[in-house]
Amino acid sequence: MKFPVKHLKQMQMKKISIFSLMLAFSLLSVSGTDALEIRIIGEKLSIHADHVPLQNILKHMVDLGIRVQIDPDLNPEISASFENRDIQEGLGSILKSLNYVLIWESPEGLPVPVAKLTEIQIFKPGKKKFMKPFIIRSGFSVKQNPSDRSLYVQNEILLMLKSGMTRVEFMKLLKELGGIVVSINKILGIYRIRLPENSDVSSLVNLVTSHPGIAGAEPNYAYPISLPHRGGNPIEVNTDLSVNRPHEGAVPIAILDSGLRPDSGLTDVVLASFDALSPDEAISDSLGHGTQMALIAAGVIEPYGVSENSETTSPIIPIRTFDDNGFTSNFSIMRGIEFALENGARVMSLSWGAETGSEFLENALEYAGSKGLFIVASAGNEPTGKPVYPAAYPSVIGIGALAPDGKPWEKSNYGDFVTLKAPGFATLPVGYNGEPGIYAGTSISAAFVARFISDYMSRNPDATVKDVQSALRSRF
């Protein structure tokens, strides 16, 4: 449900409890002679700005998880100094010379209902159509826990609340943490909390876990993309691909990876696409890995060792969950899973992983599986024998790699969690942070198995889970 709020001069409205979960968080930015401090405590906003461009202030609003749309030509200098104003009043005081709309959303079905400011629109009178999304494209700030070597997003934790948790209790907890809610996954009921700078995430997770109203708490775990191996000798690669449209009823594959390049040539097979890191931005792929996997999953490129060549293609749903540095986070993955389910995916390909297990991610994938999604994930390109997640979760099909001669690839990971091995070498017209050529890895194997499942289910629309499992055993 959305609540539009127009310019204060145009409309008076009843006060809504907004930002009810955004507590005790401050930002300080100093650039040259400009100084800016923004602080949100409870439902109160404090700003101290001396001739600061408006768009500099909006950057901090975006950092708090608020979407901003603005006419790019609007960037007046703002001078303001006030403490603890109601958020609507505070924003109105700095935007009073402009036309603007504030939008709140209240996701349903959450343990603690939240009316949360989700979007600010700023425009010239009668020229709302000139607004553009205000996008800050940046990567995750990733740290490593020295005790278990797990990676996590700095200054963030994820919380799941018990059904008996009250709003007052949650607000009190957040105030003690000095945190704010920046995002909510309404399907799983998971709150993404931003903490003050240099927070000891591990200690705070341990502290919060013991709270009687918390069902679970974790760092926002981060995972690196699976680095493929590239053949050493340059070869000439045909980049002129022939892409057939999927036939009616073909089963869609969601690919949670680094995105899709606009020049990939896959327009005819893309059912839907989504940037989970920047939802207002069109999908792209600065790394190339996601585009590689999309080519395999769609059936446009087939790995070496595949005897049967199919002329059909599978519809794909590319979802960018990795930043430009090659990292993703649990919350971004959950957001991607949500989009995949909403857009009819029946298969999901995850060509990445790490040795860090996460109860939240396991639950998210189990939920996706309960909705009829077949999930495949790569086992990893280091033969350690150690479980790699998400491939090792019970709801996921873990995939190892075969060399072109059909024998197990020497660099493929192994272990009880690996369900099957599939061809893992392919000549790809798109490079991973480099030139096109021959690439190898369990990433390719996972994308190929996703393609196989999609093709089988497209030809057998009434197939059961056992039928698919039997087909996999027969083929691999």
Q: What is the pLDDT of residues 199-237, one digit of tens each?
A: 999 999 999 999 999 999 999 999 998 777 887 665 666
Please indicate, yes or no, whether residues 311 and 438 belong to a single structural domain of this protein.
yes
Please indicate, yes or no, whether residues 274 and 382 belong to a single structural domain of this protein.
yes
CATH at 214? 3.30.70.80
Distance of CA 39 to the CA centre of its chain: 27
Cβ contact 18:43 at 8 Å: yes
Using a cut of 0.75, tell me whether the model's pTM lies above it.
yes
Domain boundary among 221, 241, 272: 221
Please indicate, yes or no, whether residues 338 and 393 belong to a single structural domain of this protein.
yes
Domain boundary among 86, 116, 133: 133
Instruction: Rounding to the nearest 10 degrees, give the CA dihedral for residues 17, 184, 160, 277.
Output: -150
Please indicate, yes or no, whether residues 206 and 317 belong to a single structural domain of this protein.
no
Please indicate, yes or no, whether residues 276 and 149 belong to a single structural domain of this protein.
no
Please indicate, yes or no, whether residues 49 and 168 belong to a single structural domain of this protein.
no
Structure tokens belonging to residue 68: 């901003």
Please indicate, yes or no, whether residues 64 and 29 belong to a single structural domain of this protein.
yes
Q: How far is residue 446's CA from residue 380's CA, in Å, rounded to a whole number?
A: 10
Cβ contact 420:399 at 8 Å: yes
Residue 359: what are its φ and ψ, rounded to 5°?
A: -65, -40
pLDDT range class, residue 191, cuts 50, 70, 90:
very high
Q: Which residue has the higher pLDDT, 412 or 51?
A: 412
pLDDT for 10 equals 32
Q: Is the per-residue pLDDT at 4 higher than 60?
A: no
Is the bond into 113 cis (omega within 30 degrees of 0)? no
Q: Is the per-residue pLDDT at 286 higher than 70?
A: yes
Helix (H, G, I), strand (E, B) or coil at 39: strand
Placement of tokens 């205000």 in the chain: 134
pLDDT range class, residue 442, cuts 50, 70, 90:
very high
At CA 320, angle to CA 328 and CA 26, rounded to 5? Answer: 55
Q: How far is residue 455's CA from residue 97's CA, in Å, rounded to a whole number?
A: 57
Cβ contact 154:143 at 8 Å: yes
What is the count of structural domains for the chain?
Answer: 3
CATH at 416? 3.40.50.200
Q: Please, which residues bridge with residue 81 across strands?
A: 48
Domain that holds residue 236: 229-475
pLDDT per residue over 321-344, tens digit each?
Answer: 999 989 999 999 999 999 999 999
pLDDT for 20 equals 35
Cβ contact 179:195 at 8 Å: yes
Please indicate, yes or no, whether residues 206 and 86 belong to a single structural domain of this protein.
no
Please indicate, yes or no, whether residues 40 and 146 belong to a single structural domain of this protein.
no
At CA 471, angle to CA 470 and CA 472, rounded to 5? Answer: 90
pLDDT for 431 equals 86
pLDDT per residue over 354-366, tens digit each?
Answer: 999 999 999 999 9
Q: Which residue has the higher pLDDT, 133 or 235?
A: 133
Number of Cβ within a 10 Å radius of residue 133: 14
DSSP letter at 157? Answer: E
Taking residues 161-184, what's their average pLDDT? 87
Please indicate, yes or no, whether residues 422 and 303 belong to a single structural domain of this protein.
yes
Across the chain, mean pLDDT equals 85
Q: Is the per-residue pLDDT at 109 higher than 80?
A: no
Placement of tokens 């979960």 in the chain: 21
Please indicate, yes or no, whether residues 462 and 386 belong to a single structural domain of this protein.
yes
Distances (CA, A) of 20 to 56, 216, 448: 24, 21, 46
pLDDT range class, residue 174, cuts 50, 70, 90:
confident
Please indicate, yes or no, whether residues 261 and 400 belong to a single structural domain of this protein.
yes
Domain boundary among 133, 162, 177: 133
At CA 273, angle to CA 358 and CA 68, rounded to 5? Answer: 85
